[in-house]
Amino acid sequence: IAGFKNSHKLYAISTFRERMYQFEIEPKTGILFKTASYPTFMFGDNITTDKEGNIWLAGHISPASFLTHARFKRVVSPSKIVVFPSMQNRELIPYPAKFQNIGLEVFRDSGSFLSTSSVAVFYHQHLLLVGTVFEPYILKCDLNKKFTD
């Protein structure tokens, strides 16, 4: 679950439904109303926001690979990072109107860089820090450079 400071919007991931939901928070009562649903095309694990109003999702491409990696560390599991640009000020566009509500894939890895991405944080204008579920390290990606596995 993530939100923005001074906003009445809240976002949550539904991992197995491969969706991100937007909720409006009623200021007086705190009651949540689901106002939008966005496809993620991945099994999302964590959601973060940045000061530019973007939402970052980290997760898994294949739940079977994730579960196998959980049991057998030598078997790698692919990862994916998606960003939904400028969600803080975005007006809702009904899906699938020209696919403007679909996140942009900024990272995909078969497991050669890391297995089972769990969290992504946008940092210092162009860096993406990616954490994993099981590995004891963080991958630092320079989004100004192109790299492939």
Residue 97 sits at φ, ψ, to 5 deg, of -55, 95
> Using CA atoms, how far apart are residues 25 and 31, in angstroms rounded to an integer?
6
In degrees to the nearest 10, what's the CA dihedral of 67, 72, 74, 75? -30
Tokens of 33: 């109303």
> Using CA atoms, how far apart are residues 92 and 35, in angstroms rounded to an integer?
9
Q: Which uninterrupted H or E stretch holds 37?
A: strand 32-39
Residue 40 sits at φ, ψ, to 5 deg, of -110, -20
pLDDT reading at 105 higher than 60:
yes
Chain segment 76-89, per-residue pLDDT in tens: 999 999 988 876 55
pLDDT reading at 135 higher than 90:
no
Chain segment 29-43, per-residue pLDDT in tens: 999 999 988 888 899
Mean predicted confidence (pLDDT) in 123-147: 86
pLDDT reading at 122 higher than 80:
yes
Summarize the chain as % helix, strand, coil (round to 5): 10, 45, 50
More confident position, 145 or 31: 31
For residue 21, name the pLDDT band (cuts at 50, 70, 90). very high
Asked if residue 120 lies in contact with residue 58, where contact means CB atoms within 8 angstroms, the answer is: yes
Mean predicted confidence (pLDDT) in 10-17: 91
Predicted local confidence at residue 88, as pLDDT: 59
Predicted local confidence at residue 90, as pLDDT: 56
Predicted local confidence at residue 87, as pLDDT: 66
- Name which of 7, 76, 83, 6 is nearest 44 in CA terms: 83
Predicted local confidence at residue 120, as pLDDT: 93
For residue 93, name the pLDDT band (cuts at 50, 70, 90). very low
Side-by-side strand order, sheet with 127-132: 117-123, 127-132, 138-142
